[in-house]
Structure 1
Amino acid sequence: MAEPQHFVVFGVAGAGKTTVAHQLADATGRIFADADDFHTPEAVQKMSSGIALTTEDRLPWLARIRDWMDMQAANGQRTSVACSALRRDYRDILRGKPGDVRFIFLSGTQDLIGSRLAARAHHYMPSSLLASQFQTLEPLFPDENGVTIDVSVPVTDIVDQLRRSDRLAG
């Protein structure tokens, strides 16, 4: 079987999605994208104000990410995307495109991720929204292609685990 076309690294804010997805892209020769770059200015302003996005806010955003993945697949490119994709129905939208999609769930405790989020500078996502993200979060379901990774280990270890994972192979 061919190697999966797309990796989507998901989890709550502060889990390390961008770092892991970027390093995984570098290690596997994929095109990297940060889903935060697909938000509208209105959505960024809403989150910056401490207001959680609704499903209605997220649906066009997810469609833009899916369309970008479609375009990359049409050009023969493999991708590594950092995207919260907190709920299964959100992941279903991302899965609804050409190319095999594998999900990587970055799992950690609210205390650990909260401490990382609090230490992060220059990001519009306030730590006050973390609790709502954990409430919305649906971990990877058994029938979804992908893996769950504990984020309490160094990023280099996470990327090594992912590169060796049978669940991410074709």
Structure 2
Amino acid sequence: MRNYAKAFPDVAACEDEGIVSDVEFEIGQAVFDPVDPFLPPVYAKLEPGATLPVVRGGQGLLMLPFGLRGKNFVITEDPNDWDNPMMPRVDMWVDIDGHNVGFGGHFARLNNYSVGFYPLDDGMGTLEHMYIAIIVPDAIADPQTLTSQPGKVHIELNTFGEPTAIQELEFVVAPEIQEY
């Protein structure tokens, strides 16, 4: 019933408060090599108040590249099995001061977004997803106005058989857009 608690919050049988969970996750960023865009990105934990770059991706779109690391939850054998009910999913929103032009009054918002985690070979059971691309909305006419602005990301990680784990983090958009 834990998986239905969010969908049916008014049904007492679906209540998940008080259920103890050891699910952990942290918010990070995908760090791209500014010289060689073909090198794979590497994960870096995003500390509160740290800078997060706007990156021009391989298809020419500007994005905020959020990475995730976690542990103590079920993942699918195939991280690309998007229809598997055991696939972790996130609900997330991003706000950037003066630029919240999207749905729900946010800069960007994702709902029920499948996240394919891979296990790391670190001996600690760490799982990694590299990365969730938050695309800069078309309504932002001049992306340079995003630079050096404070922002906030809110992520709800929904894992199979566990209550929702929530993280929120404030950041600052880097002073320059990362181009190639």
Q: TM-score range by the shorter chain?
A: under 0.3
Whichever of the two has the greater Rg, that structure is 2
What TM-score comes out, normalization by structure 2 length? 0.23
Q: Which has the higher contact order (CA 8 A, sep 6+)?
A: 1
User: Which is helix-richer, 1 or 2?
Assistant: 1
What TM-score comes out, normalization by structure 1 length? 0.24
